[in-house]
Structure 1
Amino acid sequence: MDALIVGADRLGNIPDVLQEFGIRIAAHVSGRDSNHQRRSAPLPSGIQMVILFTDFIGHNVMQRFRDAATREGVMFVCCRRSVCALQQALGRRMSEECERCSAGCKTRRRGK
């Protein structure tokens, strides 16, 4: 699954956590650019998930990307930029998706 990461200048251990869930970082936007607050452009093509780090972006940036994800039918996750917070948020979100899917998923088999 390809993800757009919004927020944070550095990702640290975040890519390792995402890899555990089968998620690849397709694009990363820090959210500091003022254009990210105003424009309502579509998400990059091929994005299947948007991850918003709420402690590193402003309200307008978060709303813009959340609305874009909703408009395009893309799953989104909001959490703080910490390994624990990301694991919990992804675990909850992936469990919700697995319940909707009859095939199951890697997250359910791991017991998260």
Structure 2
Amino acid sequence: MSLMIVGADNLGSIRDNVKDLGFEEITHLSGRKKSKFRNFEIPADTDFVLVMTDYINHAVMRKVKSAAKERGVSVIYARRSWSAIYKKLERRAICV
């Protein structure tokens, strides 16, 4: 499975924890620079998009949401804490 993470300047141990859950390919965009989101597209092989809600502005959130809807990719919104991310992934039955 592949995952795109939007938001948060530094992932820290989140990248390792997500890899332990079975995500082989992880793409990360910090969400700070608006220029990165002018022509925003989700990579074709992405299964899920994880949006860190504490480090992203509303305009970027709307672009990510519309791009995901266009591609038919599931979006998961969570705060930048491993417990919040794990809880959201668990609800989607991604990790068991």
Establish whether TM, by shorter chain, passes 0.5: yes
* Structure 1: 4+ residue segments shifted above 4 A: none
Aligned mates of 1:40, 1:71 — CA distance in 2: 14
Aligned mates of 1:58, 1:24 — CA distance in 2: 28
Question: How many residues are paired up?
Answer: 96
Deviation at 1:76, TM superposition (A): 1.1
Percent same amino acid at aligned positions?
Answer: 36
Aligned mates of 2:35, 2:82 — CA distance in 1: 28
Q: Structure 1 residues 2 and 56 mapped into 2: Cα distance closer, same or farther (>3 Å)?
A: same
Task: For residue 12 of structure 2, give the secondary structure of its aligned residue in structure 1.
Answer: coil
Letter in 2 for 1:53: M
Deviations 1:38-96 (A, max 9, x none): x354212211110000001011111111111111001110000101000001101226x
Aligned mates of 2:36, 2:59 — CA distance in 1: 8
The answer to whether 1:66 aligns with 2:65 is yes
* Larger radius of gyration between Structure 1 and Structure 2: 1
Unaligned runs of 5+ in 1: 96-106
Relative to the length of structure 1, the TM-score reads 0.76
Unaligned runs of 5+ in 2: none
Relative to the length of structure 2, the TM-score reads 0.87
Deviation at 1:20, TM superposition (A): 3.0
Choose between structure 1 and 2 for higher RCO, CA contacts under 8 A separated by at least 6 residues.
2
Task: For residue 92 of structure 2, give the secondary structure of its aligned residue in structure 1.
Answer: helix
